Copies of this chain bind each other. A is one copy, B any other.
Amino acid sequence: MTALTDALPLPEPLRQVLAAALEAVDPYLAVKRALETPDPPTQALLAAPRVVVIALGKAAFPMARAAREVLGERIARGVVVTKAGYAPDDALPGFRVHIGGHPVPTEGSVRAAAAIFAALRGLRPEDAVLLLISGGGSALATAPHLPLTLADMQRTTALLLASGAAIEEINAVRKHLDAVKGGGLARAAAPARVVALVLSDVLGDPLDAIASGPAVPDPTTFADAWQVLASRGLTDRLPPAVREWLQRGLRGEVPETPKPGDPLFARVHHRIVGNLALAVEAAAAEARRRGFHTAIATTALQGEAGEIGRGLAAVLQEMARRDRPLPRPACLLLGGETTVTLGETHGLGGRNQELALAAVEALAGLPDVWLISFATDGTDGPTDAAGAVATGETLARARTLGLAPADFLRRHDAYHFWDAVGGLLRTGPTQTNVNDLMLLVTMPPRATA
Contact = CB atoms under 8 A, between A and B. Distances in A.
A315 interface: yes
Contact of A295 (B277, B303, B325): B325
A302 B318 CA distance: 13
Q: Tell me whether chain A's interface is mostly helix, strand or loop, or mixed.
A: mixed
A264 to B, nearest CB: 28
Nearest to A341: B307
Nearest to A326: B295
Interface string A263-303: 00000000000000100000000000000000111111111
Contacts of A362: 300, 302
A397 to B, nearest CB: 21
Nearest to A305: B307
Contacts of A296: 318, 322, 324-325
A297 B310 contact: no
Interface string A96-125: 000000000000000000000000000000
Contacts of A299: 318, 322
B324 A300 contact: no
Contacts of A303: 307-308, 310-311, 314
A405 interface: no
A314 B301 contact: yes
A5 interface: no
A73 interface: no
A325 B293 CA distance: 12
A355 B243 CA distance: 42
Nearest to A312: B311
Given A300-B317, A303-B311, 12 more contacts: A295-B325, A298-B311, A298-B317, A298-B318, A299-B322, A300-B362, A302-B314, A303-B307, A307-B308, A308-B308, A311-B311, A314-B336
10 contacts: A277-B322, A298-B311, A298-B314, A300-B314, A301-B314, A302-B311, A302-B314, A308-B308, A308-B311, A325-B325
